Amino acid sequence: MTKSTDTPLTASELDVVYTRLGVARGAKLLVAVSGGADSMALALLTNPHRQVEAVTVDHGLREGSADEAKQVAIWLRAAGISHRTICWQGDKPSTGIQAAARAARYELLHQQAQALGCDFIVVGHHVQDQAETFMLRLARGSGLQGLGAMAELADVPSQKGEIKLLRPLLNFTKSKLEAALKHQNQSWIEDPSNRDISYDRVKVRQYLAAPTLDGLTNERLAHTAASLQRANAALLYYEQQLFGDAVEIDLYGTVCLQINVLRAAPEEVSMRLFSRLLQWFTGANYAPRFEKIESLFASLSDKMTTRTLAGVCVKGIGSEQVIMHRELAVEQKSEGPIASDEIVAGRWRMIMETQCDIGPLGEDGVQQLRQFDKLEAIPNYYSHQLCCSMLALWQEGRVEALIKNGKNATLLPVFIAKQ
C-alpha cells in the first residue's frame, strides 16, 4: 500500500508501471489532460519514455473552459508534447450532467485514439480517486465487482475494441503528483467544481480529508479496493465455467438458461452470471441495480411468465429452462445504413458486404417472413413477441435477412476482459 508522501513521482517510477502493464517504450498513447495536477503530471512524466498525444475535452459547461484548454496547450507544447482540444457539441441534458459528460468524454477520446492510431487511452486517476470511487459505490450498495472500483487496465467505457483504458497512477497519491509538478516549476489548473458540495464525490472527498473514524484513509480504502479486485477476478474464473455449463446462445442471440445448473452453483457466482447477461443484452456500461437483479433472479423458474428488467425479457419455457431476449420496445431501427464491422445493439458485430438498415422485425417483418415460410427454422420456443423483437436487415421496407450469429453477424463475447 502506497503511503502519502511529498516525494515527487518520477518518470522512471511511472515507466516501471507502464512496463508492468505491458506498454512498450516508444508506444503511442492518448493521454487525457484536463489541466489539473494529476493529468498534467501524467502527461509530463509519460513523455520521456513514450509518445504522448495529449487531448483535452472541453465540455463547454462552464465559463472559462475554452481558455483553460488553450493554457493546457501552451504548457504541453512548451514541453514538446503534441496537444489538441476537442469539444462536446450538441445539446446538454438538464439532469445527470456529470454522467452524460463522462460518457461523452470517453466517446470523444475513443474516436480520437482511433484517428491517431493509439492502442491506449491513459487517464490520471490516483489513490484518492480510487478511495472516493470505492465510497460512492459502497453508498450505492454495489456488490463485489463494483467495490473493486477502478482497474489499472480496462475496456474504454461504452466501447468494445482493441483500444484499452490505462490508469497507471492508481497506486500514487495526489501529493506525489503535485510535488512532481512543483519540482519542474509547472503550474496547473484548479477546477472550481472540485469544491462544489452539490456533487457526491466532493462530499466524499471532504469527509475523507478528516474522517470521524481512525484509519479510514484514502490509501487504506484504495488497498481494500485492490484486494476486492483480486477476489472478483477469482469469481470471474468460476463464472466463466458456469457460463459454459448453464448458458446456450442460439443463432439469433436469444439466451437459454438451465435453471437447475444455476441453482446448484454458489449463489454469488450464479447471480453474477445472470447480471452479466442482463448487462450484455442492454449494452450498458453497468448492470441494473442489484436489488432488482436479486428479485428477478429469485423468481426464475420454468413456469414464470414474462418479466422485464432494463429492456430484457425473461420467461420460463419448461424443462427447467428460461430464455432471455431484448424487449421489442427497446430495439431501435438504425438511423442510417450500417457498415461492416460496426457494433449493433451493443452485442452484434456486423459482417456485411453491402450496407443495410437494421431494425427489429416487428409485425410487418414477421408477416413478410411468414408469407415466404421463412419462420420455419426459428426455434419452437419463440413466441410472437420474441419474433417481433428479432433484428433483421432491411432495404426499402423489405426484410432481406435475419441477423444470425455466424451468418451476417457475430455475437460479442459475454465475458469481456477483466474490468
Query: Which carries the bigger pLDDT value, residue 343 or residue 384?
Result: 384
Instruction: Report which of residues 183 and 144 the model is more confident about.
Output: 183
Does 417 have pLDDT greater than 50?
no
Q: Among residues 287, 248, 293, which one has the least CA distance to residue 270?
A: 293
The phi, psi pair for 38, rounded to 5°, reads -65, -45
State the pLDDT at residue 314.
96
Point out the least confidently predicted range of 71-85, 173-187, 379-393. Answer: 379-393
DSSP letter (8 states) at residue 354: S
- The pLDDT of residue 50 is 97
pLDDT at residue 353 is higher than 80: no
Q: Give me the pLDDT at residue 3, please.
A: 44
Q: What is the pLDDT of residues 377-402, one digit of tens each?
A: 788 889 999 999 999 989 888 998 88
pLDDT of residue 236: 92
Provide, for the chain, the percentages of residues in helix, strand and coil under a 3-state DSSP scheme, each rounded to the nearest 5: 40, 20, 40
Q: What was the pLDDT predicted at 226?
A: 94
SS3 of residue 279 by DSSP: helix
Cα–Cα nearest to 322, from 277, 283, 384: 277
Q: Where are the beta strands (DSSP E) in 88-174?
A: 120-122, 153-155, 164-166
Nearest to residue 360, comparing CAs of 398, 390, 397? Answer: 390
Using pLDDT thresholds of 50, 70 and 90, give the confidence band for residue 376.
Answer: confident
Alpha carbons 187 and 37: distance in angstroms, whole number: 8
The C-alpha atoms of residue 199 and residue 308 are separated, in whole angstroms, by: 32
Reply yes or no on whether the pLDDT at 419 is more than 80. Answer: no
The whole-number pLDDT of residue 158 equals 64
Greater confidence (261 vs 417) lies with 261
Judged against a pLDDT cut of 90, whether residue 407 lies above it is answered with: no
Picking from 27-36, 274-283, 373-382, which range would have the lowest pLDDT averaged per residue? 373-382
Res. 405: pLDDT tops 50: yes
349: β partners: 343, 410
Rounded distance between C-alpha atoms, residue 297 and residue 272, angstroms: 10
Cβ distance 360 to 393 under 8 Å? no
**pTM surpassing 0.85?**
no
Number of alpha carbons in the 13 Å side-chain half-sphere of residue 18? 25
- Report residue 160's pLDDT band, with 50, 70 and 90 as the boundaries: low
Q: What is the pLDDT of residue 415?
A: 63
Q: What are the cell numbers at 275?
A: 447480471
Window from 80-84, 319-323, 378-382 with minimum mean pLDDT:
378-382
Per-residue confidence (pLDDT) for residue 372, from 0 to 100:
77
* Position with higher pLDDT, 87 vs 319: 87
H/E element, 82: strand 82-87
Residue 245 neighbours by CB under 8 Å, 6+ apart: 258, 261
Q: Which domains does the chain have, with CATH numbers?
A: 11-222 (3.40.50.620), 233-329 (1.20.59.20), 331-411 (no CATH)
User: What are the two backbone dihedrals, phi and then psi, of residue 348, each rounded to the nearest 5 degrees?
Assistant: -120, 135
The per-residue pLDDT of the chain, averaged, comes to: 90
d(CA 390, CA 358): 10
